[in-house]
Amino acid sequence: MFVSIVSYGLALGAVYALIGITYNVMFAASRVFSFTAGTVGMLGGVFGALFIDRLGMPVALGFLLTLAAGAGLGIITEILTVRPVLKSLEQHLYVLSTLAFALILQQLTAIEWSTEPQPFPRLLPFGPGLFDQQFWLPLLACALTIVGLEWLYRRTLVGRAFLAISEDNYAARALGLPEQRLRIASYALAGVIGTLAGFTGGEMMLAYFGNGPLLNFYGFVPVALGGMGSNRGAVAGGLALGLFQQTANFLVGGIFASVAIFVVFIIVLLVRPEGFAGSAPARRV
Amino acid sequence: MNDSATLPLAVAPKRKLGGLEALVPTALLAAVGALLPWLGDSYLGVIATRACIYWVLVSGLNLVVGFAGQIAIGWVALLTLGAYVTSVLTAGTVLPEISAYLALLIAAAVGAVFGVIIGLPALRLRTFYFAMTTLGFATIVTQVALAWKSVTGGGVGVPGPVLAWPFASPWGFYYFCLGLAVLCTWMTSNIAASRFGRSLVAIRDAEVAAEAVGISKPALLVTVFLFSGAVAAIAGGLFASLQSYITPDAFTFDLSVLFFIAILIGGRGSILGPLLGTIILTALPEFAAPLVAWSTFLYAVLLLVIVLAVPGGIADLLDFKNRRPLERHREIRPRPELLAQILPPPAQPSHIKLANLSLSFGGVRAIDAVDLEIRTGEVHGLIGPNGSGKTTTLNVISGYYVPQQGQVRLNEEMLSPRPASARASRRIARTFQTPRLVGAASVLENVMIGATTAGRASFVESLLALPRQRRDEEQAYDAAMAALTAVGLDQLAFVRADRLQHSELRFVEIARALVLRPYFLLLDEPAAGLSVDEIKRLGTLIVTISRQGTGVLLVEHHADLIFDICDRVTVLNLGKVLASGTPAEIRGHREVINAYLGA
């Protein structure tokens, strides 16, 4: 039982962490939190089931197509819902436009796919057991994403350009960086990470349109608590959240687990609105 | 007595406040609603009842979302709460059975409390965070309803309340809901036309300026959450009665989306718009049966279109008044002679004294051991190169920054460093380097925001438009009109502020500050972007203000203006006081010439 709590909790936590990173990648490029983070996560599962189960594609092709679809959705998110409202960031219109787009995607999924959870295909030919792929796949995806992002941000020129626009986008533009193209690329990358989360966690969470809001919330908790923009905070927070949720699930039942998470979330934010790792903005007027 | 006393105060036509225009939504709803049963269509009756119930909730939420600008997307949580409280109390399964009317009142009280609990994070958290917490609440409440079987019946549900005579029949119930909807329309229209409504909009669009005129965001938001929670819970009780049987499934997130989007489609800061939005969104899927499955999808598309194409919503489309072109070559002609009627007669002389004030941002010492004294009846110039700490000094005086060292004293009494909203009641007013106004409100409303602290009527009195509220409005109107006339903008009083030119906005800010009848007025670069003529008129205006007994602190870059009108000048450089004295002394000061004025 202990092993199953840990493996299930860590796997779920890895999915939350990846959604948290999705939020972060979009935030870094545009100072915008997008409600589509959880939605592309949900679509990762749905697309996987659609391509592999329903259309009978090979696993590798289905996987690649899912990620490509994620990248495409990321780009549409940027063009349709973020770019038009970036000029007036202080009006927070992005909250509404990304919420609208997330709802559109979610409703389309409900209508065109199914309102019931659908099974997700088994990806690799190993039997079930303790080291079932549904437990280690999300963890592997999470680890690869973190290593990949670190490598991208620290070692490549494009990655440094990403960091530059997230640090100070005026200065970056003055240096001649193509801010808009980098932002689109960031959103595409975020889409890939989001669908990767949903795809690798698909067997566990099933292909279900209702996963969208859930992933939105549980993916945001580690970001908010860890301090926005911090990927390491998101991973640590996500894994801790997954473990906590599973433990509470087994010990006291799912509803009290959700209530507990929610209460902790609110209290921590009220005490430290900038999260554990963040710092409060100094200037206001 | 001088001549000015005999001059007419308000040149622009005097309009009756909170008059007919504010009553339009209420009258419209009452008239159309009352006639509906004559059609004799009972299916239509159910839809209309549902629209009324939704509107009871949306009218309250409108104050939160449309006026205060708080993105509360999970308000269905309060509908759920109200529905269960009313149903459980009338079913008598847990406590002795009580009448549905009493249960509705209890639900309102519970809803008010939970409205505050759900809303509380808005006081601390950024927009997106708050949106997330309300969303979380919506999920939790449904889950609790599902799990707490002994009370809520879990997935099986509970029967909804049945209203006793005379509202037991379907049309009777409809009239009850319509009555409440009309009442809510009337009350929220009253709030919209009161200082509370203006303050909420100021918090939404110009939060920093709202603090400067003495609006306390926490107190105001808590009040609005109480009201909004109470009406939402009542709507929940009625909803349960209409459904006749409720399960957690009835309270989907789609409902939250409907409420929220109705407001945005209607337009922020409007009553009529969201009312129409609610009716349209409730009725639309009913009249096109194939659309039912697609309704939330359509709402979402509508939301996206509205946000991107018509951020002002229906209310903006209906705003014909502000499409009339304005006169092209306008001149601001202040009438300083009218100031005698606005500003209080010189009280006993007083002063604000800064002693040894220091503040660093990170490693930058923004101000370093600054001493400064502002006396009533004088214009005190504060000059220096960019980044020398002028605005920071001003921000410390007005309570936005807490100094790390030193004090601000008002006549020997220490001014507590925070909050900024406490300065207005000490009669310290200010303007901002970039004008901070509510673009969507009229010039007059913007200036009336300055009269917030002068208002005496409570929130409840404003809800019900009691006499004290009407007196407040008349006084605020007169004061704002007088101030606008004095700065020379009375002709533009009823124009939306975002249609004005930059120079005019600067004078609107001064008018707003004058409505506070300040003893001290802090002006942050009021001449920036003004023409030579306008600067001259501004100078005369400032001098006259100070001669009425008000102490003026003038942060400026126009050296001519400073040396023309200041009684004393302080020069800052790199956060330190470089020199202080009369204009003549400063003009000849060698270091000042080197650091700032140039040869």
Q: What is the DSSP string of A4-25?
A: HHHHHHHHHHHHHHHHHHHHHH
Place B20 in a pLDDT band, splitting at 50, 70 and 90.
low
- The CA distance from B579 to B569, in Å, is 8
User: Taking Cα atoms as reference points, which of B293, B132, B303 lies closest to residue A214?
Assistant: B132
User: Taking Cα atoms as reference points, which of A11, A16, A3 lies closest to residue A237?
Assistant: A16
- The CA distance from B575 to B578, in Å, is 9
CA torsion, ordered B230, B232, B235, B241, to nearest 10 deg:
-90
Q: Which of B120, B121, B308 sits opposite A97 (nearest CB)?
A: B308
Chain A interface, best mutation among B134, B307, B367, by max A CB count within 10 A: B307
Q: Is B130 on the interface with A (CB under 8 A)?
A: no
Is the pLDDT at A125 greater than 80, yes or no?
no
**Residues in contact with B534: Cβ distance below 8 Å, sequence separation at least 6, in sequence order:** B332, B503, B527
Tens of pLDDT, residue by residue over B141-190, are 888 888 888 888 888 889 989 888 888 888 999 999 999 999 999 999 99
Q: Is B133 on the interface with A (CB under 8 A)?
A: yes
User: Taking Cα atoms as reference points, which of B270, B188, B214 lies closest to residue B440?
Assistant: B270
- The CA distance from B271 to B26, in Å, is 9
Which residues of chain A does B285 touch, with a Cβ-Cβ cutoff of 8 Å?
none
- The CA distance from B426 to B214, in Å, is 10
Tens of pLDDT, residue by residue over A93-114, are 888 899 999 999 999 999 999 8
Which residues of chain B does A282 touch, with a Cβ-Cβ cutoff of 8 Å?
361-362
Alpha helix stretches (DSSP H) within B267-376: 272-287, 295-309, 313-317, 339-342
Q: Note whether B389 and B572 are within 8 A (CB).
A: yes
- The CA distance from B495 to B326, in Å, is 9
User: Taking Cα atoms as reference points, which of A35, A22, A235 lies closest to residue B134?
Assistant: A35
Instruction: Classify domain B44-319 at the CATH class level.
Output: mainly alpha
| Minimum mean pLDDT range among B23-27, B44-48, B75-79, B446-450 | B23-27
**Residues in contact with B211: Cβ distance below 8 Å, sequence separation at least 6, in sequence order:** B217, B399, B400, B419, B420, B421
Task: Print burial letters for B159-183: b (CB count within 10 Å at least 16), e (below 16).
Answer: bbbebeeebeeeeebbbbbbebbbb
Average pLDDT of the residues of chain A: 87
Fill in the DSSP letter of residue A210.
T
Place A278 in a pLDDT band, splitting at 50, 70 and 90.
low
> Is the bond preceding B349 in cis, omega lying within 30 degrees of 0?
no
Place B209 in a pLDDT band, splitting at 50, 70 and 90.
very high
Percent with pLDDT over 90 in chain A: 45
Q: Note whether A246 and A47 are within 8 A (CB).
A: no
Place of tokens 């609440």: B137
Q: How far does A244 lie from chain B, in Å, by closest CA?
A: 17
Task: Return the number of other C-beta atoms located less than 10 Å from residue A267's C-beta.
Answer: 10
User: What would the mean pLDDT of B317-321 be, rounded to a whole number?
Assistant: 81
What is the interface pTM, i.e. ipTM, of the complex?
0.89
pLDDT of residue A130: 59
Tens of pLDDT, residue by residue over B423-465, are 998 899 999 999 999 988 999 999 999 999 988 999 999 999 9
Is the pLDDT at B14 greater than 60, yes or no?
no
- For residues B479 and B592, the model is more confident at B479
Q: Are strands B576-581 and B405-410 parallel, antiparallel or unpaired?
A: unpaired
pLDDT of residue B232: 97
Contact yes or no for A107 and B296 at CB 8 A: yes
Q: Are strands B158-159 and B245-246 parallel, antiparallel or unpaired?
A: antiparallel
Q: Are strands B413-414 and B405-410 parallel, antiparallel or unpaired?
A: antiparallel
pLDDT of residue B5: 37
User: Taking Cα atoms as reference points, which of B225, B198, B222 lies closest to residue B67?
Assistant: B198
pLDDT of residue B534: 93
Q: Are strands B568-573 and B379-383 parallel, antiparallel or unpaired?
A: parallel
- The CA distance from B447 to B514, in Å, is 9
Is the pLDDT at B282 greater than 80, yes or no?
yes
- In this structure, what token pair is assigned to residue B251? 């309270």
pLDDT of residue B506: 95
Q: Which of B71, B125, B296 sits opposite A95 (nearest CB)?
A: B71
Q: Which of A92, A107, A213 sits opposite B135 (nearest CB)?
A: A213
Place B43 in a pLDDT band, splitting at 50, 70 and 90.
confident
Q: What is the pTM of this model?
A: 0.89
pLDDT of residue B19: 54
Place B473 in a pLDDT band, splitting at 50, 70 and 90.
very high
Contact yes or no for A99 and B73 at CB 8 A: yes
Is the pLDDT at B1 greater than 80, yes or no?
no
Q: Note whether B172 and B111 are within 8 A (CB).
A: no
Tens of pLDDT, residue by residue over B495-541, are 999 999 999 999 999 999 999 999 999 999 999 989 999 999 999 99
User: What would the mean pLDDT of A174-186 be, rounded to a whole number?
Assistant: 88
Q: Is B143 on the interface with A (CB under 8 A)?
A: yes
**Phi, psi angles (nearest 5°) of residue B245:** -155, 130
pLDDT of residue B397: 93
pLDDT of residue A129: 63
**Helix, strand, coil percentages for chain A (3-state, nearest 5):** 80, 0, 20
Is the pLDDT at A283 greater than 60, yes or no?
no
User: Taking Cα atoms as reference points, which of B503, B504, B497, B512 lies closest to residue B441?
Assistant: B497
Tens of pLDDT, residue by residue over A32-77, are 889 999 999 999 999 999 999 999 899 999 999 999 999 999 999 9
pLDDT of residue B181: 96
Is the pLDDT at B12 greater than 70, yes or no?
no
The CATH fold of domain B350-427+518-599: Rossmann fold (3.40.50)
A vs B: CB pairs below 8 A: 108
Crossing angle of helices A231-252 and A2-30, in 10° steps, is 150
Q: Is A262 on the interface with B (CB under 8 A)?
A: yes
- In this structure, what token pair is assigned to residue A57? 């594609």
User: What would the mean pLDDT of B115-140 be, rounded to a whole number?
Assistant: 86
- The CA distance from A265 to A261, in Å, is 6
Tens of pLDDT, residue by residue over B221-257, are 999 999 999 999 999 999 999 999 999 988 988 888 8
Count how many Cα atoms sit within 13 Å of the Cα of residue B94 in the half-sphere of its side chain. Answer: 14
Contact yes or no for B400 and A285 at CB 8 A: yes
Helix (H, G, I), strand (E, B) or coil at A33: coil
- The CA distance from A102 to B73, in Å, is 14
Is the pLDDT at A253 greater than 80, yes or no?
no
**For chain B, where do the domains classified as CATH 3.40.50.300 start and end?**
350-427+518-599
Q: Note whether B397 and B522 are within 8 A (CB).
A: yes
Residue type (1 letter), B227: F
Q: Which of B129, B362, B401 sits opposite A269 (nearest CB)?
A: B129
Is the pLDDT at B591 greater than 90, yes or no?
no
**Phi, psi angles (nearest 5°) of residue B334:** -65, 155
User: Taking Cα atoms as reference points, which of A235, A208, A230 lies closest to residue A219?
Assistant: A235
Percent with pLDDT over 90 in chain B: 55
Q: Is A253 on the interface with B (CB under 8 A)?
A: yes
Is the pLDDT at B11 greater than 70, yes or no?
no
Chain B interface, best mutation among A23, A31, A77, A96, by max B CB count within 10 A: A96
Q: Is A284 on the interface with B (CB under 8 A)?
A: yes
* The length of chain B, given as a count of residues: 599
Which residues of chain A does B126 touch, with a Cβ-Cβ cutoff of 8 Å?
273
Place A285 in a pLDDT band, splitting at 50, 70 and 90.
low
Q: How far does B180 lie from chain A, in Å, by closest CA?
A: 30
- Per-residue H/E/C for B191-209: HHCCHHHHHHHHHHHCHHH
pLDDT of residue B468: 92
- The CA distance from B125 to A99, in Å, is 18
Which residues of chain A does B361 touch, with a Cβ-Cβ cutoff of 8 Å?
282-283
Which residues of chain B does A91 touch, with a Cβ-Cβ cutoff of 8 Å?
311
Q: Which of A80, A99, A255 sits opposite B144 (nearest CB)?
A: A255
**Residues in contact with B174: Cβ distance below 8 Å, sequence separation at least 6, in sequence order:** B36, B37, B45, B48, B49, B52
- For residues B306 and B184, the model is more confident at B184
Q: Note whether B199 and B220 are within 8 A (CB).
A: yes
Helix (H, G, I), strand (E, B) or coil at B507: helix
Residue type (1 letter), B435: P
pLDDT of residue B7: 39
Average pLDDT of the residues of chain B: 88
Q: Is A269 on the interface with B (CB under 8 A)?
A: yes
Instruction: Classify domain A2-271 at the CATH class level.
Output: mainly alpha
Q: Is A76 on the interface with B (CB under 8 A)?
A: no
- The CA distance from B400 to B418, in Å, is 7
Which residues of chain A does B133 touch, with a Cβ-Cβ cutoff of 8 Å?
265-266, 269
Place A167 in a pLDDT band, splitting at 50, 70 and 90.
confident
Is the pLDDT at B8 greater than 50, yes or no?
no
User: What would the mean pLDDT of B582-596 be, rounded to a whole number?
Assistant: 86
Residues B527, B533, B535: CA angle, nearest 5 degrees: 20
Q: Note whether B499 and B486 are within 8 A (CB).
A: no
Residues B94, B112, B204: CA angle, nearest 5 degrees: 150
Residues B478, B479, B482: CA angle, nearest 5 degrees: 85
Name the E strands within B400-475. 405-410, 413-414, 428-430
Which residues of chain A does B293 touch, with a Cβ-Cβ cutoff of 8 Å?
111
Is the pLDDT at A207 greater than 80, yes or no?
yes
- The CA distance from B139 to A285, in Å, is 37
Q: Which helix (H) or strand (E) holds B357?
A: strand B351-361
Count how many Cα atoms sit within 13 Å of the Cα of residue B103 in the half-sphere of its side chain. Answer: 29
Is the pLDDT at B10 greater than 50, yes or no?
no
Q: Is A285 on the interface with B (CB under 8 A)?
A: yes
- The CA distance from A166 to A183, in Å, is 10
Place of tokens 């990304």: A98
**Residues in contact with B431: Cβ distance below 8 Å, sequence separation at least 6, in sequence order:** B506, B509, B510, B512, B513, B522, B523, B524, B526
User: What would the mean pLDDT of B262-282 be, rounded to a whole number?
Assistant: 92
Q: Is A84 on the interface with B (CB under 8 A)?
A: yes
> Is the bond preceding B274 in cis, omega lying within 30 degrees of 0?
no
